[in-house]
Amino acid sequence: MYDQWSEVVIVLTQKSDTDPGIKGMAQTSARISYGFMCLTLCWGVFTATGWIKSLTGRKALRNSHMVLGILTLSFGVVHAMSFLFLPDGFTLAQISIPLLPGTLARHELGVVGLEVMIAVALTGGISRFSSYRRFLWIHRLAYPAVGITALHSFFGAMANGHLGLLWFGGITLLVPVVLLTALRFTPTRYLERLGLVEELV
């Protein structure tokens, strides 16, 4: 008799299961945002270095980089906001204030990554009112933000039990990002020696 009552108490005190629609929206928006984030960084490297300038003009490269960035942020914000509607949910403070006590580390990584990317996007919009060096320094914060967000995705997939297949796709998207970032900051003389860039006469 005692066992039956204890089972009833456990069932009544458990939090209700997550709404599958909201959970699905949170997961889908996170995956789409992650894909656009990787593409945005790669396209940003191409824009900054001019490696594919021959395919299209520099203005078209820059504009498409901005569009990809806006898509990344849009799906990232949808992902964050969907946590407000989960039954065991989050508060607005938890999804907007970085490093808030009592928040799980993986969620803190997501908040920090998203907010740094928002700051980078805002400074991109006001770049003509600031010095180029300051703009460039802030804009380069996108590189660590992508790393932080990739860690957030990794720990999120691990916590949800989707690490195997899902993170295989995540790593597949992350490889070109890491490679292009490494090439972006490699001195030109080494790239010329490897034959990756033509030597300027």
CA distance 63 to 30: 23
> Regarding predicted confidence, which is higher, 170 or 149?
149
What tens digit of pLDDT does each residue of 92-143 get?
888 888 888 877 788 899 999 999 999 998 887 777 777 778 888 888 899 9
Instruction: Determine the pLDDT at residue 34.
Output: 92
CA distance 98 to 104: 11
Name the percent of the chain lying above pLDDT 70: 82
Instruction: Determine the pLDDT at residue 113.
Output: 93
> CB–CB of 118/95 below 8 Å?
no
Instruction: Determine the pLDDT at residue 146.
Output: 93
What tens digit of pLDDT does each residue of 32-43 get?
999 999 999 988
> CB–CB of 152/110 below 8 Å?
yes
Band the pLDDT of 6: cuts 50, 70, 90. very low
Instruction: Determine the pLDDT at residue 13.
Output: 35
Instruction: Determine the pLDDT at residue 147.
Output: 92
Segment 70-78 shows an average pLDDT of: 94
Per residue, what are the HEC states of 52-91?
CCCCCCHHHHHHHHHHHHHHHHHHHHHHHHHHHHCCCCCC
Q: Is the pLDDT of residue 46 over 70?
A: yes
The CATH code belonging to domain 19-86+101-188 is 1.20.120
Instruction: Determine the pLDDT at residue 165.
Output: 67
Q: Is the pLDDT of residue 14 over 60?
A: no
Tokens for 194, please give them.
């490897």
The domain ranges of the chain are 19-86+101-188
What tens digit of pLDDT does each residue of 160-196 get?
877 776 767 888 888 889 988 888 888 878 777 776 6
Instruction: Determine the pLDDT at residue 36.
Output: 93
Note the residue count of the chain: 201
Q: Is the pLDDT of residue 158 over 70?
A: yes
